[in-house]
Structure 1
Amino acid sequence: MSPDTLMLFAAGFGTRMGELTRSRPKPLVEVAGRPLLDHALDIARAAGVARIVANTHYLGEQVATHLAGSEVQISDESERILETGGGLRKALPLLGPGPVFTLNTDAIWTGPNPLATLRAGWAPARMGALLALVPVERATGHSGTGDFSLSPDGRIRRGPGYVYTGAQILNPAGIVTISDEVFSLNRLWDRLLDEGRAFGVVHPGGWCDVGRPESIPLAEAMLGAADG
């Protein structure tokens, strides 16, 4: 079954953005004149996702106001930020059963829609997670050697070579067995990696990690080149 629901992660503090997030949440930081959140929503809507849920915490009322009147539902984490795993679990009643897309809001993309790429590669009988990756040399605005290595059969392991882009399809069934309230999705990934059910697919277009102020002009240049 292909997912038709999406979790937008929009609750983080954005501390690496410095002054840009002192009075506004990172999802509302602008790239090319539009908030990062709107760039992410463009991807979700273009992929035909039927239901979108965004979690909020830091300055979350600004995100909620920005989304007011849209189809996006809010999973409010104002009392306590729950990280990616806890945040997804809290949002599951809004998302409904079955596999879900998740998408971070701090990246800019060019090329094919990454959610469409994930949907085309999803094979639920053998996959618990399918992560969109880019090779290190094409990870604009990102430092380090990568998060995963990619096998010829599409399975991933921890190691250098490819960067996780913040987009995936995930079967969240195992999340209910994690007792902690606050936890990262890395906990679920580790189980799936051990089971051989974690896979990756390479995004063929551009991707820029917009986690720091100096990444904004990089992202804008990437968008400009794609438009040109």
Structure 2
Amino acid sequence: MRDTPRSLMLFAAGFGTRMGALTQDRPKPLVEVAGKPLVDHALALVHEAGIAKVVANVHYRADQMEAYLAPRGVEISDERAEILETGGGLRKALPQLGTGPVFTLNTDAVWTGDNVITTLQAAWDGERMDALVALVSPEQALGHPGAGDFAMAPDGSLTRGTGYIYTGAQILVTDGLAEIAEDHFSLNRLWDQMIARGRLYGVVHRGGWCDVGRPNSISLAEGMLEGAAR
């Protein structure tokens, strides 16, 4: 059965330590790129794709994040007591997200080109896949060093390796989260289980992508956006 996801998790709880002074008084999703907070770039993709149910986890400067997101219709998954990483954070938010596969989207990247959420929607096949992750080649990846996270087979299935970089956007079946005993864990744990079953797939984003993880990436992202607008 092709079960189309209807809800989305925004990861917004991190400390943003690599941003230095920019995150001393604000959480990283509220750092501005091209005149608006990073999280607004993510929300623009979400709204354009027509995703109605959006949940964001909060921890670092959680009051600021909640005050900004709640009026925009985003539900809050509160991790003020302790930050749970991506896997633990997603599992905590499942009662709000509902059953079935979900989208997840990081809040520290800027995109051009096709809407990555609609790209994932179009390529999703729940009969074959437990997760579908959006990827770019190292040549496409601004602000992100390294040779990649995954190798892709001709059918789109993934193994650990080089060649493609994970962009922070995916569709994910969440059933396997219940099998992990730890409270704090990365979604890499779930991906490795899916790779072992041949159920992790990738789709290549058609457009630009910039990882805004460091201060010098802001100008890279703004240059990318300006170029795409010409």
TM-score using structure 2 length: 0.98
From 11, 14, 26, the equivalent of 2:16 is 14
Q: Give the total of aligned pairs.
A: 228
* Match 1:24 to one of 23, 26, 47: 26
Q: Distance in 2 between matches of 1:68 and 1:93?
A: 18
> Quick one: distance in 2 between partners of 1:225 and 1:216?
14
Counterpart among 133, 136, 139 of residue 137 in structure 1: 139
What's the offset of the Cα at 1:110? 0.3
Provide Cα deviations, 1:107-135, integer angstroms capped at 9, x if missing partner: 00000100000000000011000000000
> What percentage of residue pairs aligned between the two structures are identical?
63
Alpha-carbon distance, 1:161 to partner: 0.6
2:64 corresponds, among 62, 65, 68, to 62
- Counterpart of 1:65, as a letter, is A
The equivalent residue for 2:80 is 78
C-alpha deviation, 1:4, in angstroms: 1.1
Measure how far apart 1:71 and its partner are.
1.3
8 Å CA contact 2:8, 2:55 repeated in 1: yes
Does the Cα contact within 8 Å between 2:151 and 2:162 map onto a contact in 1?
Answer: yes
Amino acid at match of 1:218: L
Partner SS for 2:168: strand
Instruction: Tell me the SS of whatever aligns to 2:46.
Output: helix
Query: Match of 1:3, as an amino acid?
Result: P
Rounded to whole Å, the distance in 2 between the matches of 1:204 and 1:39 is 17
Aligned to 1:87: 89
Unaligned runs of 5+ in 1: none
- Whole-angstrom CA distance in 2 between matches of 1:135 and 1:145: 8
AA aligned opposite 1:55: N
Secondary structure of 2:57's counterpart equals strand
Q: Hey, what's the Cα distance between the residues in 2 that align with 1:41 and 1:18?
A: 24
Does the 8 A contact of 2:70 with 2:76 survive in 1?
Answer: no
Q: Distance in 1 between matches of 2:183 and 2:36?
A: 34
Deviations 1:168-193 (A, max 9, x none): 00000110111100000000000000
Q: Give 1:68 shift.
A: 2.8
Q: Shift of residue 50 of structure 1?
A: 1.7
> Aligned-pair distance for 1:208?
0.2
Q: What are the superposed Cα offsets for residues 31-77 of structure 1, whole Å, 9 maximum, x if unpaired?
A: 00100011100011111112000000000110001113221100000
Q: Kindly provide the amino acid, as one letter, of the partner of residue 125 in structure 2.
A: A
CA distance in 2, matches of 1:81, 1:194: 28
Q: 1: distance between equivalents of 2:205 and 2:72?
A: 28
2:7 to 2, 5, 8: 5
**2:213 equivalent among 211, 216, 225:** 211
Q: Contact between 2:119 and 2:205, CA under 8 Å: does it hold in 1?
A: yes
